[in-house]
Structure formats: structure tokens, C-alpha cells
Amino acid sequence: MDMKELIKTKVHVGSLLDLPERVGKTVQVQKDKEVAVFKLSNGKIKAIENKCPHKGGVLSEGIVSGEHVFCPMHDWKICLEDGKVQEPDFGCVKTYETLLEDGEVYLLF
């Protein structure tokens, strides 16, 4: 394994207490890269690429149900666990690892 693969960038998202359940938060992680972060009703924190593979809808503005988010543009259902678009639609978005440390949420990429 390459050393670059072992070293991850840690980006602060915010306090766990400040993340509302089932509402997305947009996090700018690089000049041209946004991530949508969600606190699910089961307490899990999930993060995915903030762009629907269909028409580029902003996923942080989507409706969350269980472990899925529905794209606000055309209602595509995307799994927050693996990034896969649910049938009959197809495609996927990148998922990101999250870290909870001392009540603070971080993205690892």
C-alpha cells in the first residue's frame, strides 16, 4: 500500500450537537470539492459527494429517510452507506469516512 493511501486529511465539520438530525450540511473540503454530511436519526454520521450523478443536484438539500437521501431535483434515492443510487435509477456517488472525536465531527479523505 502506498504511503499516501495511509495518510488522510482531516476536515472539521462542526460539533455533533450543532448537526440537526436528517438535515444535510455542505462542507467545502477543497476548492472544487463539496461533501454533504448528514446526522441520521440513529445517531450515525454519513458523508457523501454533494452532487447527484444524474443532473448534479445538491444532495445536502435533499430529504433524508433512514439511511438514504433523495435528490432535491429529480427524487433519485441514494444510499448514504455505500453511495449507490437505488433502482430503477443507476449510478453512485463517492462516500467519505467520518470521525467523532470529543464531540466534534470530522471528515477523513
Q: Is the pLDDT of residue 4 over 70?
A: no
Q: Would you state the cell numbers that stand for residue 93, as one nine-digit string?
A: 456517488
State the average pLDDT over residues 34-44: 95
31 compared with 50, residue with greater pLDDT: 50
What domains are there in the chain, each with its CATH number? 3-108 (2.102.10.10)
- 45 touches 105 (CB < 8 A): yes
Measured torsion, CA atoms of residues 84, 82, 17, 6, in degrees rounded to the nearest 10: -130
Whether the CA torsion 67, 73, 37, 30 is positive or negative: it is: positive
| pTM exceeds 0.75, yes or no | yes
Are 96 and 48 in contact, with CB atoms under 8 Å apart?
yes
Contact 27, 106 (CB under 8 A): no
pLDDT confidence of residue 2? 54
**In the prediction, which pLDDT does 1 show?**
52
Model pLDDT for residues 58-109, shown as the tens digit of each residue: 999 999 999 999 999 999 999 999 999 999 999 999 999 999 999 999 999 8
Residue 29 burial by Cβ neighbours in a 10 Å radius (0-12, 13-18, 19+): middle
The chain-wide mean pLDDT, for the chain, equals 92
